[in-house]
Copies of this chain bind each other. A is one copy, B any other.
Amino acid sequence: MARVKVAINGYGTIGKRVADAIKLQPDMELVGVAKTSPNYEAFTAIKKGYKLFVPKENTSKFEKAGLQISGNIEDMINEADIIIDTTPNGVGASYKPLYQKFEKKAIFQGGEKADVAEVSFSALCNYDEALNKNYIRVVSCNTTGILRTLCTINNKVSKIEKVRVTIVRRASDPKEVKKGPINSIVPDPASVPSHHAKDVLTVIKGIDIVSMAVVAPTTLMHLHLMNITLKNNVKREDVLTALKDTERIVLINSSRTGIGSTAEIVEVSRDLGRYRYDIPEVAIFEDSIYTQNNELFLMYGVHQESIVVPENIDAIRAAMNISSKDESIKITNETLGLMKGYLI
């Protein structure tokens, strides 16, 4: 079977990771990556041997920087079977007419409004709904973290009645030097619910969920504090068993290993030699799992830079209808080295 030709439009935090992930897939090939400005990420793309495509009007800027370009963005789209749109929030929608003009499928990110696509996507929750679709939207990093957790509990422990979740967001990505806050905790927004609850509902329909979010001055990970009310009473052991056995979820035992913070999760990832220290798994603090009658409480970290990468890969297979849910998740997990069980 011919490999799926994938193009990446937007080579920033998510785009560069998805490009690297595509290179590891046995059933995909990378056409190239498109970028608008000739910064260090363009240099690393060239160094990795990725073909670089740029907007026509920016060609001279890239040539001036000594970067070899392989064509313009239309050339890249024309060569591809499917486009991963990892352009900045809200920009993806403005590219959609171009993808349509070339009759190409596209995967958008959570920074776009839900109506940019036919379906919002989280692999563990609704892979099958995305089969054969032309336009799929991978939900945001925070929503991906929430959905992986909720679908696992809902499918393996007990049906969910109600979700109340507090999101403590990281202020900026590590590479960003002009974004804050750096000394404040900022309700984001001050109104309740935050948009995350609404975003969850694009994938799991009709549950009672309210989210509140603040931004904290850190770059490493988001942290979620969750309270779930279930239809039935629940035992902590049953929750633990379900989470331990779920792909793309790792457990952090703080009392045994001393890992008690997002910083230390990142340190372990560095020590394990993970590429870019990425942690695409939901990282659940085991000691935080607490049950009381039909209520479940837990805390987990969400690595904003990488958690949506496996979902983008699965979304490609769903859109192209080349693998079942289980097959796709298995290939993605194996090629990207995704774990389940204890991180260490």
Chain A positions within 8 Å of B, measured between CB atoms, are 16, 37-41, 43-44, 47, 65-66, 174-177, 182-183, 217, 256-261, 263-264, 266-268, 270-273, 275-277, 344
Complex A-B: 13 CB contacts under 8 Å: A40-B257, A40-B258, A40-B268, A43-B344, A44-B268, A44-B272, A47-B344, A65-B256, A174-B263, A174-B266, A177-B264, A183-B183, A276-B277
A277 B270 Cβ-Cβ under 8 A: yes
Give every chain B residue within 8 A of A41 (Cβ-Cβ).
271
**Which 10 residue pairs spanning A and B have beta carbons closest together?**
A39-B258, A175-B267, A270-B276, A40-B257, A44-B271, A43-B344, A177-B261, A40-B259, A183-B183, A177-B263
Q: How far is the CA of A234 from the CA of B175 in the complex (A)?
A: 35
- Tell me, rounded to whole Å, the shortest Cβ–Cβ distance linking A341 to chain B: 13
Give every chain B residue within 8 A of A344 (Cβ-Cβ).
40, 43-44, 47
- Tell me, rounded to whole Å, the shortest Cβ–Cβ distance linking A64 to chain B: 9
Give every chain B residue within 8 A of A276 (Cβ-Cβ).
270-271, 273, 277
Q: Please, which residue of chain B has its CB at the minimum distance from the CB of A266?
A: B174
Partner of A264, one of B40, B256, B272, B273: B40
Give every chain B residue within 8 A of A275 (Cβ-Cβ).
270, 273
- Tell me, rounded to whole Å, the shortest Cβ–Cβ distance linking A253 to chain B: 10
Give every chain B residue within 8 A of A261 (Cβ-Cβ).
177
Q: How far is the CA of A183 from the CA of B217 in the complex (A)?
A: 11
Q: Please, which residue of chain B has its CB at the minimum distance from the CB of A262?
A: B177
Q: Please, which residue of chain B has its CB at the minimum distance from the CB of A220?
A: B174
Q: How far is the CA of A264 from the CA of B263 in the complex (A)?
A: 19
Partner of A267, one of B174, B182, B183, B264: B174
A263 with B176, Cβ < 8 A, contacts A258-B40, A268-B44, A271-B41 known: yes
Q: How far is the CA of A39 from the CA of B253 in the complex (A)?
A: 11
- Tell me, rounded to whole Å, the shortest Cβ–Cβ distance linking A87 to chain B: 18
Q: How far is the CA of A176 from the CA of B264 in the complex (A)?
A: 8
Q: How far is the CA of A216 from the CA of B275 in the complex (A)?
A: 28
Q: How far is the CA of A174 from the CA of B263 in the complex (A)?
A: 6
- Tell me, rounded to whole Å, the shortest Cβ–Cβ distance linking A276 to chain B: 4
- Tell me, rounded to whole Å, the shortest Cβ–Cβ distance linking A66 to chain B: 8
Give every chain B residue within 8 A of A16 (Cβ-Cβ).
271
Most chain B CB inside 10 Å of its own CB: which residue of A43, A259, A344: A43
Q: How far is the CA of A263 from the CA of B175 in the complex (A)?
A: 5
Q: How far is the CA of A264 from the CA of B275 in the complex (A)?
A: 16
- Tell me, rounded to whole Å, the shortest Cβ–Cβ distance linking A336 to chain B: 14
Give every chain B residue within 8 A of A182 (Cβ-Cβ).
217
- Tell me, rounded to whole Å, the shortest Cβ–Cβ distance linking A7 to chain B: 20
B257 A43 Cβ-Cβ under 8 A: yes
Give every chain B residue within 8 A of A177 (Cβ-Cβ).
260-261, 263-264
